[in-house]
Amino acid sequence: MEQKLRSRTSLASLAVVIIFVAGAISKAEDGYRLWLRYDPLPRQTIESYRPRITSIVVPGDSATLAAIRTELVSGCSGLLGSKVPVADEVNRDGAVIAGTPKSSPEIGRLGWERQLADLGPEGFRVRAIRLGRHSVTVIAANTEVGALYGVFHFLRLMQTLQPINRLDVTQKPRMQLRMLDHWDNLDGSIERGYAGRSLWDWKALPENVNPRLRDYARANASLGINGSVVNNVNANSIFLSAEYLRKVAAIADTFRPYGVRVYLSPRFSAPIELGGLKTADPFDQEVATWWKKKADEIYQAIPDFGGFLVKANSEGQPGPRTYNRNHVDGANMLAAALAPHRGVVIWRAFVYDAKPGYDRAAAAYDNLQPFDGQFAPNVLLQVKNGPIDFQPREPFHPLFGAMPKTQLMPEFQITQEYLGFSNHLVFLPQMWREVLDSDTYAKGPGSTVTKIIDGSLYGQRLTGMAGVANTGSDRNWTGHHFAQANWYAFGRLAWNPDLASRQIAGEWISMSLTHDARAADTITRIMLESHEALVDYMTPLGLHHIMWGGHHYGPAPWWDTEPRADWNPVYYHRADDRGLGFDRTEKGSNAVSQYYAQVRDRFANLNSCPEKFLLWFHHVPWEYRLLTGRTMWDELAVRYQRGVEWTRTTRKHWDALSGVIDAQRHAEVAKKLAIQERDSIWWRDACLLYFQNFSKRPLPKGVEPPAKTLEEYKAKSLEWK
Ligand code: GCW
C-alpha cells in the first residue's frame, strides 16, 4: 500500500514536471515579446508585491482605457504568477487604480488637479496612498495616454524588481516629439533595414491590419514614443494619394489608443506627380494651394496626423532649390499648409552639395545655418548626430548650438547601417550619450547638446528626438535580439535624455533577458563595452566612411569608383606615404571652424584633439606618437587587434551563460557573435593590409598576421547573410 502510494506520488510529481517543462517549452523564447514579457518574477519579489496588487480598477471604456486595463491585468497577473481581478471600485487593500480625474471618480476626488497641472498632457503621477480605509496605488495623469505611460512605468518598476510599497513618482517627458523614422518603401522593402520586410502591408491595408501593428504601438507606448513616420524620406508621391491615405488612416487608427501619431514623408514634387501641375515651385500659388488642400484631405482622414518629415535637395531628392528657392521657402510653404491643423514640418538638415574640393562634413552647416531665425514656428530642423552620416563614431554636429533661433531636433540611427547591420552586438546609447553630453560652448561651458535640444538653453518651444527605426517583419522585430535594446534605449532617452546607459542596459536586461544578478553583470559589461570595441575593429582613432560602397557592410578603404568623390572611402581617410586622416583644420578644409572657439581650438590642435577624433580632424604622420607612446601606425594596429580580441572574449563570456539564458535566444545570439568575430578579423586584416601599403611599416607585436591577402579582401565583399 505504502509502496503504491509512493509510486503514485512520484507519478504525480512526474506529471507536474512534465506539464511544467511542456509549459516552458511551449512558450517559445523567440524575442517577439520584447521587453514586455510578464513572466513570473522571483518568488520573494512576488511575495512582497502581492499584497500591494490585489485588484485592478480602471473605469471607463475608451480604447486607451481598455488598453490600460488589459496591460495592467496581463502585466500584474503574469509577473505575480496568478490572476489579478478587475474591480469597479476600491473595495480592498492593494487596489491599483489608473486613469484621469475624468475617467475615474476615485482619482477625481483626490484633489490632485494642481499637481497634475504641472505634468502636461503626457506626464503622470504614481503614488501609494490610503484611500478611505484602504491602501492603494494610484496611477494618474491629465490624459489617458499619460495614464498609460504611468502604467508602463509601474510595470517596469516591477519588471526590474524595484520596491513599490512607498511609491511617489512624478514624471513628464523632456522632449515633445519622440519619433521613429521608418525608411519603408512602397514595395515592402526597407532602406537600410536588416530585420525583414516592412511591418506595413500596403496591399492588405486598409481592410486588413496586421495585429502586429498593435504590438508595435504598445511597445512604443511603453517607452513613450509618440510618433511614427511610416514611409521612407526617399519618398514616393503615391503615399499622399487618396487610396494610400485610407491605408495610412487604418494604421493611425491602430496606433491612436497608444498615443502614437502617424507622420508621412511627402515627396516635394508631389504637386506635379499627383496633382498634374507643371511645377512644384513653393512660390507658385497653385502649388501652395495644392498642398493646403492635400493637408485638409489628410486631416479629414487622420484628425491627429502629426505632420511631414522632408528630405529635400539631398541625394537626388527634389526640393525648393530645384526651383531656385531655398530651404526656408520650401519648409515654410509646407508649414503654412499644416499650421491650421497644428501639424509640424520636420525639415532634414542632411544636405550636402557635390562641389569639387568640398568637405562633406561642412556641408549641412554651410547650407542651413544661414537660415537661422527664418523658419516658421511649426518647423523643426532635424540634424543627424554627426556631420557626415551615422558613422560608428563622429564628433557632434556643428549645427547644434549654432542656430539659436531655430528648433533643432537630433536624428539618431537605430538601424545599424554602418555598424554591422543586425549581425553585430552594439549597444548604441553609449554612442548617443557621447553626443548628448558633448559641450558645444554655445553659451559658455555647460552648453551641452542635451540642453540645446531639450529647449533649456535657447528656450526652444517645440522639441523632439528622432531615431531611424531598426524594426521589421522578423519574428524578433530587430534581427539581433540585442538590437531590441537600441530601440528600447532610444525611447528611454527621448523621454529623458539624461538617463545613463548603464541604467538603460540594466532595465532592458532585467525586463528582456534575466533576473540572475551575475548574468546581468556580465551582460551589462558586454553591452557597455560593445560600442568602443566596434569602433576599434572598424574605424579607430577617428577614421570614418571606409565601408564597402552601396551596402556599407564590411571594409573597403581602397574604394574609389563612386561617381561622387564624397561617396568614396579614399576621400575620407586620405592615406598617403606621409600619414592618414582628413585635415579639417585651417590648413585643410577648415570645417573645424564651424564649432565654437573652445571646441574648435581643442579639435584643431593636434596635441589637444581627443585621440578618438584624431584622424577625423587631422592628417597625422605615421610616426606621430600617441598618448600610449606608440606611433600612430602601431596604435591603429593595436586597436584593430583589441577589437578582435573583444569579440573573442565576448563569445566566451556569452557561452558561459548557457543555461542561464533560455536556449533559443542563447543559441541565436551565439550565432551572431560568431559572425561578429569573423567580421572583426576581416575588418582588421583588410584595413591594416591596405593602410600598410602607405605606412610601409610592420605590424607591431601582438597583432596577428592577416588571414588572407589584400587582393582577396578586395575581390569580394564580406557577406552578411
Ligand atoms: O546614410 C545615408 C543612407 C541613405 C539614406 C540617407 C539619408 C534614406 O545611406 O540610405 O537615405 O543617408 O539619411 O537620407
pLDDT in tens, 437-495: 999 999 999 999 999 999 999 999 999 999 999 999 999 999 999 999 999 999 999 99
What is the length of the chain? 721
How many Å lie between the centroid of ligand 1 and the Cα of residue 233? Answer: 8
Residue minimizing CA distance to atom 7 of ligand 1: 350
Residue from 189, 417, 547 to probe ligand 1 pocket by mutation (most atoms less than 8 Å from CB): 417
The string of pLDDT tens digits covering residues 191-226 is 999 999 999 999 999 999 999 999 999 999 999 999
Give the count of alpha carbons within 13 A of 573, CB side only: 30
Distance CA 610, CA 602 (A): 8
The string of pLDDT tens digits covering residues 49-60 is 999 999 999 999
How many Å lie between the centroid of ligand 1 and the Cα of residue 184? Answer: 12
User: Which atom belonging to ligand 1 lies closest to the Cα atom of 418?
Assistant: 1
Beta pairing, strands 579-580 & 620-621: antiparallel
**Alpha helix positions (H), 539-631:** 569-573, 597-604, 614-617
Site residues for ligand 1, CB cut-off 6 Å: 183, 191-192, 233-234, 311, 315, 350, 389-390, 417
* Predicted pLDDT at 462: 98
Residue minimizing CA distance to atom 13 of ligand 1: 350
The string of pLDDT tens digits covering residues 169-180 is 999 999 999 999
Residue minimizing CA distance to atom 12 of ligand 1: 389
Residue minimizing CA distance to atom 2 of ligand 1: 389
Model confidence at 18, pLDDT cuts 50, 70, 90, reads very low
How many Å lie between the centroid of ligand 1 and the Cα of residue 310? Answer: 13
User: Which atom belonging to ligand 1 lies closest to the Cα atom of 183?
Assistant: 8
* Predicted pLDDT at 27: 64
Distance CA 644, CA 688 (A): 13
User: Which atom belonging to ligand 1 lies closest to the Cα atom of 411?
Assistant: 13
Q: Is the pLDDT of residue 13 over 70?
A: no
Task: Mark whether 389 is an active-site residue.
Answer: yes
Task: Mark whether 315 is an active-site residue.
Answer: yes
Give the count of alpha carbons within 13 A of 122, CB side only: 17
How many Å lie between the centroid of ligand 1 and the Cα of residue 285? Answer: 32
* Predicted pLDDT at 319: 98
How many Å lie between the centroid of ligand 1 and the Cα of residue 623? Answer: 36
Q: Is the pLDDT of residue 329 over 80?
A: yes
Model confidence at 10, pLDDT cuts 50, 70, 90, reads very low
How many Å lie between the centroid of ligand 1 and the Cα of residue 707? Answer: 33
The string of pLDDT tens digits covering residues 251-275 is 999 999 999 999 999 999 999 999 9
Contacts of 509 (CB under 8 A, 6+ apart): 520, 523, 524, 527
* Predicted pLDDT at 7: 45
Q: Is the pLDDT of residue 26 over 60?
A: no
* Residues 545 and 564 sit within 8 Å (Cβ to Cβ): no
Find the catalytic residue in 417, 434, 439, 679.
Answer: 417
Query: Cell 520596491 identifies what position?
Result: 163
The string of pLDDT tens digits covering residues 96-154 is 999 999 999 999 999 999 999 999 999 999 999 999 999 999 999 999 999 999 999 99
Model confidence at 353, pLDDT cuts 50, 70, 90, reads confident
Q: Is the pLDDT of residue 687 over 80?
A: yes
How many Å lie between the centroid of ligand 1 and the Cα of residue 185? Answer: 13
For residue 148, the surrounding DSSP H or E stretch is helix 144-159
Task: Mark whether 417 is an active-site residue.
Answer: yes
Model confidence at 2, pLDDT cuts 50, 70, 90, reads very low
Listing from the earlier edge strand, what are the strands of the sheet with 134-140? 55-57, 95-99, 134-140, 124-131, 168-171
User: Which atom belonging to ligand 1 lies closest to the Cα atom of 314?
Assistant: 14
The string of pLDDT tens digits covering residues 592-651 is 999 999 999 999 999 999 999 999 999 999 999 999 999 999 999 999 999 999 999 999
Residue from 184, 189, 192 to probe ligand 1 pocket by mutation (most atoms less than 8 Å from CB): 192
Among 427, 409, 534, 420, which Cα is nearest to 488's? Answer: 427
* Predicted pLDDT at 28: 81
The string of pLDDT tens digits covering residues 644-675 is 999 999 999 999 999 999 999 999 999 999 99
Distance CA 455, CA 464 (A): 9
Mean residue pLDDT of the chain comes to 96
User: Which atom belonging to ligand 1 lies closest to the Cα atom of 234?
Assistant: 8
The string of pLDDT tens digits covering residues 382-427 is 999 999 999 999 999 999 999 999 999 999 999 999 999 999 999 9
Residue from 185, 315, 397, 418 to probe ligand 1 pocket by mutation (most atoms less than 8 Å from CB): 315
How many Å lie between the centroid of ligand 1 and the Cα of residue 166? Answer: 48
Mean pLDDT of 68-72: 98
Distance CA 336, CA 378 (A): 9
Find the catalytic residue in 118, 296, 315, 719.
Answer: 315
Find the catalytic residue in 389, 474, 566, 634.
Answer: 389
* Residues 566 and 314 sit within 8 Å (Cβ to Cβ): no
Give the count of alpha carbons within 13 A of 189, CB side only: 6
The string of pLDDT tens digits covering residues 548-581 is 999 999 999 999 999 889 999 999 999 999 999 9
Model confidence at 354, pLDDT cuts 50, 70, 90, reads confident
What are the angstrom distances between the C-alpha of 504 and each of 113, 236, 392, 429? 32, 36, 20, 8
% residues pLDDT > 90 (the chain): 95
